[in-house]
Chains A and B, each alone.
Chain A
Amino acid sequence: MSDAPENMEAGEPNGDLETVQPEQTVEEARRTQHEIWVSGTEERMPFAHATDEGSQELLPSDLDPALDIQRGVAVDDDYVVPERVIDDERQIINMGPQHPSTHGVLRLHLELEGETVVRVKPIIGYLHTGMEKTAETLSYSQGSTNVTRMDYLAPFHNELAFSLATEQLLGLEVPARASAIRILMTELNRVSSHLLSTATMGMDIGALSMMIYGWREREICLDFFEKTTGLRMNHNYIRVGGVAADLPDGWEEDVVVLIKKVNDGVDEYEEILNENPIFLDRTLGVGVLTPAEVKQYGVTGPVARASGVDWDLRKAAPYCGVDQYQFDVPLGKHGDSFDRYKVRIDEIRQSLRIAEQIVATIPSGDYRSTDAKVTPPPRARINESMEALIHHFKLFTEGANVPPGTAYQSVEGPRGEIGAYIVSKGGARPWRLRWRAPSFAAVQALPAMMTDSLIADVIAALASTDPVLGDVDR
């Protein structure tokens, strides 16, 4: 047994804690706990003991009120936290960052008592690449190439949030056709993202055939994306002022076929999973999140709706005219893993319903704004018009000028509210881009879902939450 679990026992002070003065508050003790050495400086504060992990370490429970709070002590709560008998069975294990079911590089410290999870500490940052900082050095036309890589399973939603926030600063109206194309692509993106989520969730909890089926239908969506944008992921298709190109010839037939195939596929999934006793045993009542916890942690999207929180930005704060289409918001009752799976399945059908209406009602017209200060001229115009040449040159050397101000724009992504907050001080580059990432909030709520469950349920709860680590760490 390692050092760390021994130090958990009965608040037995380790070498570090003995220096804590009696008048120190818990908070001060917590803060001074990890005076770790800083590379390049002379003074090195050695780690307290061999297994010390700096500020990531799972501390004795009396020094870690944050984790206690996240176990649900402070909010309305469904857990019964029994008086614990401290025994030798308690141990701390790491799940991740390379564990296949963590969907990326999420790392969980699990404190176990036998097979029961006592405390959970999510550790993130392994995929942090400073994309908010990078955005400050990119112009508004380059910005969407950056944000599309954040939540790499919802590239269209990221581009849309960024473009809408910039358009809010510019006071720019986009043509009706551009808005319809944006909604079509984002809804199909929701379908492909939920298909992937359902597939990997099936794989994580033992329904391996689900994995194959989910990817089969997702491929149809990606084929359509490739035909439209040229790329299967990270499209940079939705741009400030509209979209990069009009839909390809014959797109209506493609979308109709796609809707048919995916609808059939979803029926098939429900046949495979809904009555499957193993799937039901692994998901029913597992990883429950209450509506109070949903609101406290800012969890949005299918996870919130599975808990019965009726909140969909497409209804509550509509963008791009999404409110003119008929669709329902599926809600769950219990907030468990099964409800999250079911909400996603129903959302796929609703998104396909929206796509069906767009095929029938899409208006004709421009696919992007004709404001020459924002969108580049068509290639053919450059040969004919001096102004077009100048505009093209200015846009690609300087970029579009955006007036000073701040703007917040939110979009209902597949994982919840994707928010772009842009501070502009004038010029062609944002002063600050703040990205409200839905997965970040979901990861924070993981302890509330996982505590006092079995270690196998951790996998099911995590899979049904569907965090994307590129979104968490940015």
Chain B
Amino acid sequence: MNELIATLVEPFDAAEVELRSYASSETTYHAITIPVSDWVGFALHAHEIGFDTFIDLFAVDHFTEAPRFEVTLNLLSMTAKERILVSTRVPYDGATVPTITDVFQGANFYEREAYDLLGVDFPGHPDLTRILMPDDWVGHPLRKDYDIGEVPVEFKAGSADL
């Protein structure tokens, strides 16, 4: 753990840091896990100390695991050439993560996408509506319990008519 990452996680006791590296490359990034209560505070702190480039925000459905949804934030420090993936877990019932659109304006569309596809709520978001799916769509398609459906295949050779 280098100095910048140490400064980053220093105010957050519950943060867990893991160093990972790219395939066939020297490039590394840090995966940091924090509780959801630290979410906005961590984003603010990261922005202050140089992780000021918003890259990505998304959710993952870990079906059958205890806090089911994982929301991950991908930030970049261009001066230090460091990347962090900050993730937090929230339970299935009333899955809410406070919005960070006040810290990173770019989180706007990404939080809408996470809401649309996985049904994670972001209280405080200025316009939390569906973004990719139609307005009248029922359900959140990237959830693991969302039925993907199928087209029935007719095996004519096996039917009784022949």
Tell me if A99 counts as interface (CB < 8 A to partner B): no
Chain A residues near B142: list those with CB within 8 A.
132-133, 432
Asked whether, in the complex, the Cβ of B105 is within 8 Å of the Cβ of A38, the reply is: no
Q: List 19 A-B contacts (CB under 8 A).
A: A27-B124, A27-B125, A31-B128, A64-B126, A65-B127, A69-B105, A128-B132, A164-B24, A165-B23, A167-B23, A168-B22, A168-B23, A173-B24, A174-B24, A297-B54, A309-B78, A406-B31, A421-B56, A473-B132
Chain B residues near A408: list those with CB within 8 A.
20, 29, 74, 83, 85
Tell me if A216 counts as interface (CB < 8 A to partner B): no
**Cα distance, A40 to B78, chains bound together (Å):** 50
Tell me if A232 counts as interface (CB < 8 A to partner B): no
A-facing residues in B94-144 (Cβ within 8 Å): 101, 104-106, 108-110, 113, 117, 124-136, 138, 141-142
Known contacts A137-B148, A168-B22, A423-B60, A56 near B27 by CB under 8 Å: no
Asked whether, in the complex, the Cβ of A436 is within 8 Å of the Cβ of B74, the reply is: yes
Chain B residues near A474: list those with CB within 8 A.
132
Give the A-B contact count at a CB cut-off of 8 A.
159
Asked whether, in the complex, the Cβ of A295 is within 8 Å of the Cβ of B53, the reply is: yes
Asked whether, in the complex, the Cβ of B55 is within 8 Å of the Cβ of A417, the reply is: yes
- Picked from B25, B56, B62, the residue with its CB within 8 Å of the CB of A298 is B56
Known contacts A167-B24, A419-B56, A66 near B127 by CB under 8 Å: yes
Chain A residues near B131: list those with CB within 8 A.
124-125
Asked whether, in the complex, the Cβ of A70 is within 8 Å of the Cβ of B78, the reply is: no
Q: How far is the CB of B83 from chain A (nearest CB, A)?
A: 7
Q: How far is the CB of B74 from chain A (nearest CB, A)?
A: 7
Q: How far is the CB of B87 from chain A (nearest CB, A)?
A: 9
- Picked from B24, B52, B127, B136, the residue with its CB within 8 Å of the CB of A179 is B24
Chain A residues near B109: list those with CB within 8 A.
440-441, 443-444
Tell me if B42 counts as interface (CB < 8 A to partner A): no
**Cα distance, A164 to B24, chains bound together (Å):** 8
Annotate A439-474 by CB proximity to B: 1 below 8 A, 0 otherwise.
Answer: 011011100000000000000000000000000011
Asked whether, in the complex, the Cβ of B25 is within 8 Å of the Cβ of A40, the reply is: no
**Cα distance, A65 to B128, chains bound together (Å):** 12
Tell me if A30 counts as interface (CB < 8 A to partner B): yes
Annotate B62-87 by CB proximity to A: 1 below 8 A, 0 otherwise.
Answer: 10000000001010101001010100
A-facing residues in B1-39 (Cβ within 8 Å): 20-27, 29, 31
Q: How far is the CB of B131 from chain A (nearest CB, A)?
A: 6
Chain B residues near A64: list those with CB within 8 A.
126-127
A-binding residues in B (CB < 8 A): 20-27, 29, 31, 52-56, 58, 60-62, 72, 74, 76, 78, 81, 83, 85, 101, 104-106, 108-110, 113, 117, 124-136, 138, 141-142, 148
Chain B residues near A423: list those with CB within 8 A.
60, 62
Asked whether, in the complex, the Cβ of B106 is within 8 Å of the Cβ of A441, the reply is: yes
Chain A residues near B52: list those with CB within 8 A.
295
Q: How far is the CB of A343 from chain B (nearest CB, A)?
A: 17
Q: Is the interface of A mostly helix, strand, loop or mixed?
A: mixed
**Cα distance, A455 to B86, chains bound together (Å):** 40
Tell me if A383 counts as interface (CB < 8 A to partner B): no
Tell me if A248 counts as interface (CB < 8 A to partner B): no
B-facing residues in A12-71 (Cβ within 8 Å): 27, 30-31, 34, 36-40, 54-56, 64-67, 69-70
**Cα distance, A69 to B133, chains bound together (Å):** 24
Using CB atoms, name the residue of chain B closest to A405: B20
Tell me if A372 counts as interface (CB < 8 A to partner B): no
Tell me if A318 counts as interface (CB < 8 A to partner B): yes
**Cα distance, A165 to B21, chains bound together (Å):** 10
Asked whether, in the complex, the Cβ of B108 is within 8 Å of the Cβ of A316, the reply is: no
Chain B residues near A173: list those with CB within 8 A.
24
A interface residues, tally (CB under 8 Å) = 70
Using CB atoms, name the residue of chain A closest to B99: A27
Known contacts A36-B136, A167-B23, A298-B53, A75 near B58 by CB under 8 Å: no
**Cα distance, A224 to B148, chains bound together (Å):** 39
Chain A residues near B127: list those with CB within 8 A.
30, 55, 64-67
Q: How far is the CB of B105 from chain A (nearest CB, A)?
A: 5
**Cα distance, A167 to B22, chains bound together (Å):** 9
Chain A residues near B105: list those with CB within 8 A.
69-70, 74-75, 296-297
- Picked from A38, A54, A297, A434, the residue with its CB within 8 Å of the CB of B138 is A38
Using CB atoms, name the residue of chain B closest to A309: B78
Chain A residues near B130: list those with CB within 8 A.
55, 125
Tell me if A320 counts as interface (CB < 8 A to partner B): yes
Chain A residues near B74: list those with CB within 8 A.
408, 419, 421, 436
Chain B residues near A473: list those with CB within 8 A.
132
Tell me if A311 counts as interface (CB < 8 A to partner B): yes
Annotate A129-148 by CB proximity to B: 1 below 8 A, 0 otherwise.
Answer: 01011000100000000000
Q: How far is the CB of B51 from chain A (nearest CB, A)?
A: 10
Asked whether, in the complex, the Cβ of A444 is within 8 Å of the Cβ of B106, the reply is: yes
Q: How far is the CB of B16 from chain A (nearest CB, A)?
A: 14
Q: How far is the CB of A211 from chain B (nearest CB, A)?
A: 31
Asked whether, in the complex, the Cβ of A124 is within 8 Å of the Cβ of B138, the reply is: no
Known contacts A65-B126, A128-B132, A311-B78, A319 near B25 by CB under 8 Å: yes
B-facing residues in A273-299 (Cβ within 8 Å): 294-298
**Cα distance, A347 to B56, chains bound together (Å):** 25
- Picked from B20, B62, B81, B133, the residue with its CB within 8 Å of the CB of A407 is B20
Tell me if A228 counts as interface (CB < 8 A to partner B): no
Chain A residues near B72: list those with CB within 8 A.
421, 434
Chain A residues near B125: list those with CB within 8 A.
27
